[in-house]
Amino acid sequence: MADIRCPMCGKPNPAERDVCQYCQARLKPLTAALPPEPPKKPSAEPPKKKASEPAPKHNADDWLGSLRDQDDESFGESGDWLDDETLIGAGEGERDPLAWLSSIDSGAAAPGKPAEPEPDETEWLANASLESPASPGDTGSFERTFTTSSIGRGRREDDVDLSEWLSSLDKDQDEGIQVTGGEEASDWLAEFDTAGAASDDREAEALEPPVIQSKPAEDDLPDWLAGLAGNYQSPEPGFAQRTTAQEAIEPTQPADLPAWLASLSAGSGADRSETDLPLDEFGDGDVPAEELPGAELPDWIDRLGEPAAPPAAGEPATAELPDWMASLGAAGDADEMDLSQPPSKEKEFETALLPDWLATLESGAGDDQIFEQPESSPEPDTASLPAWMAALGETEPTGSLAPEEGEELEGEPVTGQLSEPAETASEPEWFANFEQVEELDEPPAAARNLVDAPMPEWLASLSAAEAEASLGTPAEMPDWLQGLRPTQDDLGAGQLEGEAEGADWLSDLERGAGESEAAEVQDLERAASSPFAMDGDLDSDLESLYQADVPDWLQDVTTETPAETGAVETGESLERAELPGWLAAMRPVGSVSVPRPLQEEEEEYTEAGPLAGLRGILPAEPVVATSRPKALSLRLDLTDSQQKHINLLETLLASEEAPRPAQAPARLTPQHLLRWVIALCLLVAVGYPVVTGSTLAPLPLPPSGVLEVRQEIQALPAGAPVLVSFDYEARLAGEMEAVAGPVLDDLMLRGAPLVLISTTPSGAFLAEQFIQQVHADHQYTSGQQYLNLGYLPGSTAGLASFASQPQRSAGYSLSGYEAWGQVPLQGVASLADFGLVLIITDRAETAQAWIEQTGNSLGDTPLLVAASAQAEPLIRPYYQSGQVKGLVGGISGGSAYDNLLGVAGQARRYWDAYQLGLLLAVAVIILGAAANYIMAVLERNKRSKGERTHEPA
Amino acid sequence: MNLPDLIGASIGFLLTLAVFSYLIGDNPLFRLAIYIFIGVSTGYVFSVTLYNVLIPQLLLPMTLGNPAQISLALLPLLLGGLLITKISPRLAWLGNFPAAYLVGVGAAAAVGGALLGTLFPQTGAAINSLDASRNTLLDGIILLVGTLATLLYFSFSARPQSAGAAEQPVWLSSIGSLGQAFIGITFGVLFAGVYSAALVALIERLDSMWAFVQSLLANL
């Protein structure tokens, strides 16, 4: 017994094993174990046919013939079992829906009957077919389109004859379509039509009553079906791009295919935009009815038109029907389940190995429960139908195939759940196979196996043409490929010897390689095309069954086994050594290392990914995977000391950034207490004499400066004007009034005219206030006894200007009048004309400015200064130098002058308080110094004691 | 005491107490009194300047003066106007001309006055103080020693020694210490003068307050 090579790992396995002993992949499809009886029926006949031969109209051996006979027996001689009267008058459920297939046959049996267009097609139906779905996601449009296309497909098959029963459906609609699923056997068809009408109604935006819309046509076909047929005559252009099988069919169309298949291929590649059928795969076999001569139809299709025998009551329809037909419904059910997701590889493989009807027979056994029957739909109706029609009947009235309009019309709730599977259920099996061929683009082996599967002759020829078209016609092939092909043929059937002519250098090379190399090349191609081909009985049986259906060259390719593909992997026998010299020179020999193939024991199971569980899979990384670089640690190793330093630094930085809370000033501190005590003592010491008016303290003796002031005043000529400068601030007005008061009192006692001036803004008004308030008892009048010249601006420069040109610098009095014409200034032209200049100031700078700027302008005019106590020390050198003739400094000077005058002036009132204040200050200074000294001594002693204690004994 | 005097005396009394409140620390009353003094002084200075400088020496000559007075008044007006441009940073350079004029004139006056009014007379007086015919020889000697010692105190030059350290001569450092003593005494005298002035001001304020209280008590 031959071994079975695993399609996954490629290793040989014993034939009795179902799964690979190496990779646990399935070796035999599940369908391989089924009884071979059903598939042999259709497979026995097609091999007798040639692809180029037209299909016979009738075949006496066709199993469908019995089916037709049964239909004839049950329905009598009348083939129009679906005419109006029969449909309406017959009891519901009494007719076998298979009878419509007879109309298919009758329609097909009239080859000469031309396809008549439907002139009075209802426009709404035509529009419904023409209109494309509103959007890809528009499920309703999608389903409606499919519905109409499915019906239109049936109509195209039987053309006019079939329209009879369909017209009766329209009549049902005219009568109100009150038929429910439980009342009539063909209720699903009625709903089917109703659904289509409703969808068209919606799309036409007419929303007219269905009675009007479903007006029966004058001809046999209803308009909507005619419209569908007409639409289908406009093929879809984009369809050919998506179906590779049909691409291959197109070049072979004129020579090999019957007319209806030619139209099929043309329709598959035609315009899609017009019909916009979303289920293109279901329309693969849709051929316009007028292009389907009955003579070219396969016999098994012709027999479909024969009346089928009615099924026995209560017996399932699948028991009566042929297996392939019984499996249609199941297959449709299964396909319905698979439509939502791509078919699995395993299933494709199984389907490719077996005839579709056989595969679906097995797989579609228990799928009927997927669809929910409407509550009103009786079970016997479904049982009497073919399975695929039953599925169609079950599905279409339910779900989204019955849109809202249909619900409104029917007045019945729609309980269906699946809508898309119904599309698959309505297609014949051979269409499904054809569809699978189209879908199996990858891998190509699946398509090849599908070609190998049992198929009718016409389909085999189609496959042959397709394969040939895929390889390219001899005229289209490049030379090197043409040379390669005869080599294969020579090794195989040897039918294409003539095509090997004109081969180029490559073909010559192939011929010269010998049979062994040619076989290897053949194996290589075979392995590439059908990696999943099986060795064994099943494979050989299938090949023997269909060997006559496929072209020889394709048969050779199909029957080849991938047993010798191992030679391809190594590539040792290829033309490596026979490369052209120039090409061999360019080959980077030595720079490429061929990895050593893994041994079986080295092969490991794949643990992850989609190929998990398989062994021998090439790893993601090459065998010579580079060693991983050594991982370098990014972590810095620190010693303990370094870590401590880092922590310390972090702490310092954190403390720098942390805001320090502001310390609230203490309410009571020793300094505050000391300050308050001193202030209190001072207030008491000063306040007490003021309050009591004490004059206990003796007045000081007048110093020399006071005496000289006194002498200068006494020496002042009578009526000589005296220039008095009030250059002090208000804050020291009390002291200055006490200091200068006795001097001015002496001048005023003598009746000297006073000319007041000030180098400070406040001095002018202080002077006025001094004359008017302090010495108000002298009754000096402005402009008469005194004249206030006001503020003299310019500081030093102003003084210099005033010293040089007093009239220009201070031409106006404080009241705004001309100063130099008034009485106090009469006879005065310069500073030297003044009898005396007295400067009352609290700042030494002012006195210095006066001395410096007016010293040369005064002449013999004495300059006297009454200064504050804080300015006296700095002015005294000028007095000692003789620049200032007299100096009264501070309250002591004022008191001395009072003492000299013998009056109790303001200075005298302040003298006691001043003395106590001085005493207190001296006391505080002494006490403070003593305390500081004591604290220093204590601190020193403490240090000395500490040093002694810390010194070693 | 009439009403204006009473109001004035009352304001003075309250402001004095507000200033005295500084004994317990900075407080709003003290700040209020300070702000009032600053404001009143500023307003007072402005009024004095207006009525004692601008009107009599600028506006009156320009309005009532003869062409010569007017032309002379235009020059200070121009300089004064340019000095105002110092407010604007973009036009401040225009104020440099009157500022330069003021600084130049002021410096010249100060230097001339210092030379002629202070340096030469004081130098002569220091020399004359040592005149034996006068009874100021001791004062002159003290003045001379004190002056020299103070000047030598501010002599910071020293000869480098062998060890590399620079030390002033002993006699220079000794005289410098004497000069430091003179400087200390001088500052002490100045401080005593400041304290004396402040003490008199305090006494004057207390006397004023007591007078106000007496007047109030007398009127009651």
pLDDT digits (tens, 9 = 90+) for A241-275: 444 444 444 444 444 555 555 555 444 444 444 44
* Confidence class for position A109, pLDDT limits 50, 70, 90: very low
Pick the residue of B131, B203, B210, B217 with the most A CBs within 10 A to test the interface with A by mutation. B203
B118 touches chain A (CB under 8 A): yes
> Which among A690, A764, A890 is the nearest to B206, CB-wise?
A690
What is the C-alpha to C-alpha distance for residues A868 and A888, in angstroms, rounded to an integer? Answer: 8
> Which among A737, A812, A892 is the nearest to B56, CB-wise?
A812
Question: Is the pLDDT reported for residue A933 higher than 90?
Answer: yes
> Which among B53, B117, B201 is the nearest to A732, CB-wise?
B201
CB contact under 8 Å between B53 and A791, yes or no, is yes
CB contact under 8 Å between A882 and B125, yes or no, is yes
B195: chain A residues, CB-CB within 8 Å:
921
A891: chain B residues, CB-CB within 8 Å:
196, 200
CB contact under 8 Å between B52 and A812, yes or no, is yes
A837: chain B residues, CB-CB within 8 Å:
none
Residue of A312 and B191 predicted with greater confidence? B191
CB contact under 8 Å between B48 and A849, yes or no, is no
**Scanning every residue of chain A, which has its alpha carbon at the shortest distance from the alpha carbon of B136?**
A880
B21: chain A residues, CB-CB within 8 Å:
none
Question: Is the pLDDT reported for residue A8 higher than 50?
Answer: yes
Residue of A108 and B212 predicted with greater confidence? B212
Beta bridge partners, A12, equal: A5
What residues of chain B, 126 to 155, have a C-beta less than 8 Å from chain A? 129, 136, 139
Give the Cβ contact number of residue A869 at 10 Å.
Answer: 28
CB contact under 8 Å between B49 and A793, yes or no, is yes
CB contact under 8 Å between B124 and A881, yes or no, is yes
* Confidence class for position A462, pLDDT limits 50, 70, 90: low
Angle at CA of residue A581, ends A575 and A587, nearest 5°? 75
A872: chain B residues, CB-CB within 8 Å:
193
> What element of type H or E holds B220?
none
CB contact under 8 Å between B113 and A917, yes or no, is no
B44: chain A residues, CB-CB within 8 Å:
761-762, 765
Would you say A526 and A532 are in contact if contact means Cβ atoms under 8 Å apart? no
Question: Is the pLDDT reported for residue A661 higher than 50?
Answer: yes
Residue of A561 and A909 predicted with greater confidence? A909
Return the pLDDT at A464. Answer: 53
Q: Which long-range contacts (CB under 8 A, 24 or more apart) does A177-183 make?
A: A177/A210, A177/A214, A177/A409, A177/A410, A179/A92, A180/A376, A180/A410, A180/A412, A181/A374, A181/A376, A181/A377, A181/A378, A181/A381, A181/A397, A182/A92, A182/A376, A182/A377, A182/A378, A183/A92
CB contact under 8 Å between A734 and B116, yes or no, is no
CB contact under 8 Å between B129 and A880, yes or no, is yes
Mean pLDDT of chain A: 63
Return the pLDDT at A122. Answer: 45
This complex has an ipTM of 0.89
Question: Is the pLDDT reported for residue B183 higher than 90?
Answer: yes
Distances from the Cα of A762 to the Cα of A103, A120, A608, B52, angstroms = 135, 123, 103, 12
B190 touches chain A (CB under 8 A): yes
Backbone φ, ψ for residue A399 (5° rounding): 65, -160
Which of A225-239, A288-302, A577-591, A908-922 has the highest mean predicted lDDT (pLDDT)?
A: A908-922
pLDDT digits (tens, 9 = 90+) for B170-180: 888 888 888 99
Give the Cβ contact number of residue A883 at 10 Å.
Answer: 24
Question: Is the pLDDT reported for residue A801 higher than 80?
Answer: yes
Return the pLDDT at A80. Answer: 43
> Which among B52, B116, B205 is the nearest to A852, CB-wise?
B116
Share of chain A above pLDDT 90, in %: 6
**Scanning every residue of chain A, which has its alpha carbon at the shortest distance from the alpha carbon of B47?**
A761
Return the pLDDT at B34. Answer: 93
**Scanning every residue of chain A, which has its alpha carbon at the shortest distance from the alpha carbon of B110?**
A796
Return the pLDDT at B31. Answer: 93
**Complete DSSP assignment for A541-591:** HHHHHHTTTS-HHHHHHHH--GGGTHHHHHTTTSTTTTS-HHHHHHS-TTT
Return the pLDDT at A221. Answer: 53
What is the C-alpha to C-alpha distance for residues A809 and A805, in angstroms, rounded to an integer? Answer: 6
Backbone φ, ψ for residue A787 (5° rounding): -140, 125
What is the C-alpha to C-alpha distance for residues A829 and A504, in angstroms, rounded to an integer? Answer: 141
* Confidence class for position A500, pLDDT limits 50, 70, 90: very low
B79: chain A residues, CB-CB within 8 Å:
none
Whether the bond into A209 is cis, omega within 30 of 0 = no
**Scanning every residue of chain A, which has its alpha carbon at the shortest distance from the alpha carbon of B106?**
A797
What residues of chain B, 15 to 34, have a C-beta less than 8 Å from chain A? 23-24
pLDDT digits (tens, 9 = 90+) for A574-609: 555 677 778 777 766 555 555 565 566 666 777 777
Q: What is the mean pLDDT of residues A460-467?
A: 54
Return the pLDDT at A840. Answer: 93
Q: What is the mean pLDDT of residues A633-653?
A: 86
Max Cα distance, chain A (Å): 176
Find where tokens 């209190």 sit. Answer: A680
B182: chain A residues, CB-CB within 8 Å:
none
B124 touches chain A (CB under 8 A): yes
What residues of chain B, 150 to 179, have a C-beta less than 8 Å from chain A? none
Give the Cβ contact number of residue A233 at 10 Å.
Answer: 22
Pick the residue of B134, B200, B202, B205 with the most A CBs within 10 A to test the interface with A by mutation. B200
Residue A256 has which token pair?
A: 């090999």
Question: Is the pLDDT reported for residue A213 higher than 50?
Answer: no
CB contact under 8 Å between B201 and A735, yes or no, is yes
Question: Is the pLDDT reported for residue A66 higher than 60?
Answer: no
pLDDT digits (tens, 9 = 90+) for A610-642: 777 777 777 665 555 556 666 777 777 888 888
Question: Is the pLDDT reported for residue A318 higher than 80?
Answer: no
* Confidence class for position B117, pLDDT limits 50, 70, 90: confident
Share of chain A above pLDDT 70, in %: 38
Residue of B140 and A224 predicted with greater confidence? B140
Return the pLDDT at A400. Answer: 40
Angle at CA of residue A373, ends A367 and A375, nearest 5°? 155
Return the pLDDT at A556. Answer: 56
Distances from the Cα of A281 to the Cα of A135, A384, A822, angstroms = 19, 28, 132
Q: What is the mean pLDDT of residues A823-829?
A: 85
CB contact under 8 Å between A796 and B116, yes or no, is no
CB contact under 8 Å between B48 and A764, yes or no, is yes
* Confidence class for position A649, pLDDT limits 50, 70, 90: very high
The amino acid sitting at A44 is A
A881: chain B residues, CB-CB within 8 Å:
121-122, 124-125
Q: What is the mean pLDDT of residues A101-121?
A: 44
Q: What is the mean pLDDT of residues A802-821?
A: 84
Residue of A613 and A347 predicted with greater confidence? A613
Residue A945 has which token pair?
A: 């004691």
B122 touches chain A (CB under 8 A): yes
Pick the residue of B22, B37, B52 with the most A CBs within 10 A to test the interface with A by mutation. B52
Q: Is A693 exposed, middle or buried (0-12, 13-18, 19+ CB in 10 A)?
A: exposed
Would you say A797 and A849 are in contact if contact means Cβ atoms under 8 Å apart? no
CB contact under 8 Å between A909 and B102, yes or no, is no
Q: What is the mean pLDDT of residues A706-715?
A: 91
Chain A to chain B Cβ contacts (< 8 Å) = 169
B121-B123-B125-B127 Cα dihedral, nearest 10 degrees? -150
What is the distance in angstroms between the Cα of A896 and the nearest Cα belonging to chain B? 15
Question: Is the pLDDT reported for residue B113 higher than 90?
Answer: no
Residue A182 has which token pair?
A: 């439980």
> Which among A675, A848, A891 is the nearest to B200, CB-wise?
A891
Question: Is the pLDDT reported for residue A856 higher than 70?
Answer: yes
Return the pLDDT at A770. Answer: 87
- Across B41-70, b (16+ Cβ under 10 Å) vs e yields eeeeeeebeebbbeebbeebbeeeeeeeee
Q: What is the mean pLDDT of residues A840-855?
A: 90
Least confident of A525-534, A594-603, A748-757, B192-201: A525-534
